[in-house]
Each structure stands twice: as structure tokens, then as C-alpha cells.
Amino acid sequence: MPEHHFLNLGAGVQSTALYLLSIDGDEPEVPRFDAAIFADTQEEPDEVYRHLEWLEKQGGPPIVRTTAGRLGDALDQGSDASGNTHKDGGHYISIPAFTVHPQTGQKGIIQRQCTADFKVKPIERLIRERCGGQFGRPLPKEVIVHQYMGLSFDEPKRVIRVKERFLAKPSNWKVHFPLWEMQWDRGDCKAYLRDRMPYEVPRSACVFCPFKSDEEWRRLRDDDPKGWERAVHIDKVCRTGTGLDAHRYLHKACVPLDEVDLRPADEKSGQMNMFRHLRGFQDECEGYCGN
């Protein structure tokens, strides 16, 4: 009975740790993967693509890149990943943009579709192709697929959500969480990577992902002018489409991104905070797109 082992490679801290653990072969919970699949939104920071190139040189399982297209282009066009637009002229906004109602001032956030359309579906489509499946049909019963996720011990809600999604799949399509089974949290992954890598693993997320702290927005603005320009453009695109009553923004302050005061809070108040360097982790988002 043919069995296949695939890693969802988000190219962030946790999935990078899993990939390198697979090479090392020291943990029984982490197999040698047949392939590691990276779903490319074509909107990652340059440092993420450089990181992928480094991983590809480590002699590990082949890294296969797949894509549903450039996410920002779909936002520009007001379409979904397949190029479809609302028949009523409405504008698809698939990223979790922040919203504010023009009359009530009530703030909210749009339910995201980008992870499903530009990450989950391209990976599963590639797995089906590699395992002899046909479009729109289940895999042959004799084929067993093992899909591995880089979700760690400090992410129980995400583990539960993925498990629930896989309940709808045939029994020969299985999901595994090696870091969870090893009781490794993000800190354990970082400690392992410090001894295993020559640089710090960048956070994998689109340059215009709304789930950024002010520190991350500042770093994008100061260190990646091209990425910042792209984010400012997409922020404006969020407010040009139709189909929603509320105004949409990339930043939680609900003002245009290039007008946001991104200074640290202590600089705004004039009071220096000796613990500012500790804020990075608590302000870090859950990394929905990258594992």
C-alpha cells in the first residue's frame, strides 16, 4: 500500500524546524518527508525567498513550490484566486483587513479567505497530482497521504481547527503535528534553530498581511522599501473596491498605512521603556499564513 509523507512548509520558525529535524533524523516523530511543499502567494518579503534558497541547499527532502497566482493581483482585480468576480459588481477582499463603519465608527475585521485559497488549496491540489488523484475526485483508496503541519505545543486552538477540517476528508488522508507530539513550543523551535542555522529565521507572511505589530511594520518600511511600497498600494486597494459598507485598512488603527504613527509607544509618550526589547514576542501575531 503506497504511503506518502508531505510537509506543509510555511518557511517560518516551526516548519523550518520540522524540515531540519527531518534531515537530522534524531526525532522518531519526524519522518523523512517525500517533499516539503511551499505555497507561494508571490508576496513574501525577499528575506523569506532567500531563506527558502538556503533550505534547498541543505540536502534535505525536495522543496516544491506551488502557487495559485499573485495574491495582490487578485486584490487589485477584485477577484478570487480563480479570477472570478462577484456578479453584482462586489469586490472580493480575501485578506483580514480591519474595518470601521463610517456612520457608527464600529471597528471589525473581515473574515479571511487568503489562507484557504492561496495556501491550503494549492498544497492539497499538488498532493493529489503527486499521488495519482484526479481533479474533483478522492484519492484512490489504496493510497495513504500523511500531511505534516508545523503547529507547536503553544497553538492548541489551531491544532483543533485543522483536526476538525481533516475530519471531512477520507480516512486515507491523515494529518500529523510532530511538534505538538514532542511538546515543543515556538521557544523550543527557536532554541533548536539557534544552534542549527547561521541566521534568524524570518517570519513568513505577505508584506501586506494585516497581522503585523507596529515593530514589524516599521521594519518593513525601513528595511524593505519595495515591500513597503507594495503594502501601501494594497492598503489603498482595500478602500477602492465595492461590496462592503465599512471602510477597510491594513493597520488596526484604521487609517491609511502611510499615515500611521508607527513609533514605539514610549517614543510617542516621551518616556523610554527599558523593556521595549521584550515586546516583540507578545506583539507577534499567530502567523496564520506561515507555520
Residue 276 reports pLDDT greater than 70: no
DSSP 258: G
pTM, two decimals, is 0.88
**Average pLDDT over the chain, rounded to whole?**
88
| Residue type (1 letter), 184 | W
Model pLDDT, residue 287: 36
Report the distance separating Cα 193 and Cα 180, nearest Å. 17
CB proximity list for 38: less than 8 A, separation 6 or greater: 9, 10, 11, 52, 63, 64, 65, 66
Q: Is residue 266 part of a domain?
A: no
Residue 77: inside a domain: no
121 occurs within a structural domain:
yes
| Least confident interval from 65-74, 126-135, 179-188 | 126-135
Whole-number pLDDT of residue 46: 92
Q: Which domain, by its residues, includes 44?
A: 3-69+112-196
Domain count, the chain: 1
Residue range 272-277: mean pLDDT, rounded: 43
Whether residue 94 is contained in a domain is answered as no
Q: What would you report as the CA-atom Rg of the chain, rounded to the nearest whole angstrom? A: 20
CA neighbor of 216 nearest in space, from 113, 275, 287, 270:
287
228 within a domain of the structure (yes/no): no
Extract long-range pairs of 113-117: CB within 8 Å, 24+ residues apart: 113/80, 114/41, 114/71, 114/206, 114/289, 115/288, 115/289, 117/68, 117/80, 117/81
For position 87, what pLDDT does the model report?
Answer: 62
In a domain, 24, yes or no: yes
**In-domain check, residue 213:** no
CA 66/CA 190 separation, integer angstroms: 26
What confidence tens digit (pLDDT) does each residue in 46-96 have? Answer: 999 999 999 999 999 999 999 999 999 999 888 878 887 766 556 666 899
**Residues in contact with 190: Cβ distance below 8 Å, sequence separation at least 6, in sequence order:** 13
pLDDT at residue number 282:
33
Indicate if the pLDDT at residue 148 is higher than 90. Answer: yes
DSSP result, 187-203: HHHHHHHHHH-SSPPPP
**Digit-coded pLDDT (tens) for 190-248:** 999 999 999 999 989 999 999 999 999 999 999 999 999 999 999 999 888 666 667 89
CATH number of the domain that 23 lies in?
3.40.50.620
How much of the chain is helix, strand and coil, in % rounded to 5?
40, 10, 50
pLDDT at 281: 34
Secondary structure element (H or E) that encloses residue 4, with its range: strand 3-8
pLDDT at residue 273 in the model = 47
Q: How many CB atoms lie within 10 A of CB 210?
A: 24
Domain for residue 168, yes or no?
A: yes
pLDDT of residue 89: 57
pLDDT of residue 284: 33
Annotate 105-160 with DSSP letters as a single string: --EEEPPP-HHIIIIIHHHHHHHHHHTT--TTSPPPTT-EEEEE----TT-HHHHH
Q: What pLDDT was estimated at residue 71?
A: 94
Q: What does the pLDDT read at residue 88?
A: 59
